[in-house]
Amino acid sequence: MLASLDNISYQKNFDYTNFTKNISESTSYLHKYDSSLYRTEKTFTRSDDDPLSNNYYGISNFNSISDRSTINLIEYLGLENNDNSFTNNFATPLSDSILGVKYNIVPIKNRRSLPSKQQIVFTSAFYRPDLITNKVVKSFKQVQIRKNSSALPLIFISPSHKKTNFYASMPSANQNTLFNSIVGKKINLFNSLYLTNPNKLENIKSTKNINEYQKINKSRIATISFKISSFQKGPYYLELPSNLDANSVSITVNGHHLNNQDLGISNKLLNIGYYSPNAPIKITFNLHNEKTNLSGIRVLQFKEHEFIQIIRKFNKKQPITWQTSPISLKLTYIARRNKLLNSTIPYSKNWLILDNGKFLRTEKFAHNFLSAKLSKGNHHLILIYIPFAFLIGLIISLISLIIIFIFKPKNA
C-alpha cells in the first residue's frame, strides 16, 4: 500500500497549486477569447480528468462506467486509453481536427528557468512538433495557447452517409477513413515507408526470424539505427506496434527522446518531427530485452497541404452551433438536398433533436457519434440533453420521502 502512494498525481501541495493555477489561467483566457463551442487539449497531462478539474471541454476523461463504443473508437484512432479512461495522447493534426480540438495548450521551454517549486510538473508529456504551424494565441509564464484553424465544429453537415469500417492497430488508416466519411472524399492523407534496412547495428545481430534482432553481449548497450530522408514537407510519425513500449525499447529521433510509454494493446503514432523535403531523419532503438522484433514499424508523412485545402473548404459551408444552456444547443441550416447532421458528440438516447419543432430520429455515426438525417429545406435545430435515468431516480426519491413523511409515526 505504501508503494502505491508513489502513483498519486500530486505528491506535494505546490505541484497541485502550480498546475491548477497555470492551466486555469490559460483556460480562463480562452473562455473570454473564444466563446464558441469547441474542444481544448494539452500536450501534457497530470490526470485523465484534467478537463474536469481545470474547466475546459477536452477529450481526456476518466469514468468507471465509460461507454464501450467510445473507448473502442478512441482505440481505433490510436489515442491512449484503458478500460475506464482515455486521453488525447498520441494525437495527430488529423485526429485533432476530426474531434474538434480547436486549441492546444503546450509548455514553454524557458519554464525550466523558474524555481523548481514554481514549475508545472507533469505525469506525462508528448513531443508535438506537428503543432508548429498553429498560430500562437497567447503566451503565459509556463504555457502557451496554439490555435488549430483546421478543427471541425462539434456539429457539422456531411454530404451523405458512408459506412465506416475500422480495423485494429491501423490508426492512420482509421483516421483517414473517418475523415473521408465526414467530408465525402476518397483521399489518402498519409505517405508511408516501412523500416526494414538498418543503417547501423551496435552489439546486435539478426536472428532467423524476419526483423528480429538479438543482443550479442547481454550486459552492454545494444542499438539499431535507421537513416532515411523526408520526402515531402510536413509532420512525420513513427507508427509503433504495442510490443515496443518503454519496457522493450528506448527511441530517439535526431537525438530527441520519444515517449513510448502506455502504448496499450494497439499501434500508436508518435510525432517525430516537422521536416522540409530531403531532411535527414535518424531513428535509433535502444533494445532492453535479449530479443526484439521490429516488424510493423512505419514512418508516416501527413499530407498537410492537401488536408488543409479540403478541411477549410468544408468548414466554410458549416453552420455555427450555439450553446444556449448547459444542456442545449441550437443551429440553423438550409439544405439544398438531403444531408446528414453529424457530430463528434457521443451518441446517447438522452439526446433529443428538434427540427422546426418536430423530433428527429437520432442514429449513430461512425459507430459512436450522434447523427440525424436532414431533408431538403430550412432547418431550425435544437439539441437537448435530458438525463432520463437521473430524473426517474430523483422522482422515485421524492415520492419515497413524501411517503415517509406522511406515514411517519407521530411520536417520532
The enclosing H or E element of 324 equals strand 322-325
190-224 in b/e burial notation, b at 16+ Cβ within 10 A? beebebeebeeeebbeeeeeebebbbeeeeeebbb
CATH number at residue 375: 2.60.40
Residues 20 and 105 in one domain: yes
pLDDT for 209 equals 93
Structural domains counted in the chain: 3
Examine the fold and report which residue of 129, 151, 173 is the final residue of a domain before the chain moves on: 151
Residues 226 and 358 in one domain: no
Residues 17 and 124 in one domain: yes
Examine the fold and report which residue of 245, 279, 302 is the final residue of a domain before the chain moves on: 302
Residue 395: inside a domain, yes or no?
no
pLDDT for 83 equals 87
Residues of the chain with pLDDT under 50: 1-8, 10
Residues 141 and 9 in one domain: yes
CA distance 64 to 402: 32
Residues 66 and 140 in one domain: yes
CA distance 135 to 145: 8
CA distance 225 to 180: 35
Residues 348 and 295 in one domain: no
CATH number at residue 275: 2.60.120.260
Q: Is the dihedral of CA 60, 61, 62, 68 positive or negative?
A: negative
Residue 356: inside a domain, yes or no?
yes
CA distance 330 to 180: 26
Domain of 200 in residue numbering reads as 191-302
pLDDT digits (tens, 9 = 90+) for 67-113: 889 999 999 999 999 988 999 999 999 999 999 999 999 999 888 78
pLDDT for 2 equals 37
* Strand positions, DSSP E, 94-216: 101-107, 124-125, 135-139, 143-147, 155-158, 190-194, 200-202, 204-206, 212-215
pLDDT digits (tens, 9 = 90+) for 188-216: 999 999 998 899 999 999 999 999 999 99
pLDDT for 121 equals 84
Residue 64: inside a domain, yes or no?
yes
Examine the fold and report which residue of 267, 283, 302 is the final residue of a domain before the chain moves on: 302
CA distance 303 to 82: 30
Residue 411: inside a domain, yes or no?
no
pLDDT for 339 equals 95
CA distance 250 to 259: 8
